[in-house]
Amino acid sequence: MPRKTPTTPHADNVVLPVDAYLELQAFHDELAGIAHTIDPADAPPPTIRKHEQSRRRALAKVFRLWAEQIDRSLSAMRPA
């Protein structure tokens, strides 16, 4: 007979120490800054080749997705 794993209640909010919350906010800002540095929103300089720009855009997308994930986590947390 298979065992059932006990389910844990789903928490809408997570409580963190204020320092940890602020560190996550700073990390989010840093990720967004890195993404902007790699692939700025304004037009790329003409010295960057098309394939290089494509690589930069893909890498920046990873950092932006990471930053969005942190942002979603922050919205589910509240400092203690």
The structure's pTM equals: 0.65
User: At residue 28, does pLDDT exceed 80?
Assistant: yes
pLDDT 10s digits, 31-65: 999 999 888 877 666 677 888 888 888 999 999 99
d(CA 33, CA 45): 18
CA 57: distance to chain centroid? 16
Sign, CA torsion 12/18/24/30: positive
User: At residue 22, does pLDDT exceed 70?
Assistant: yes
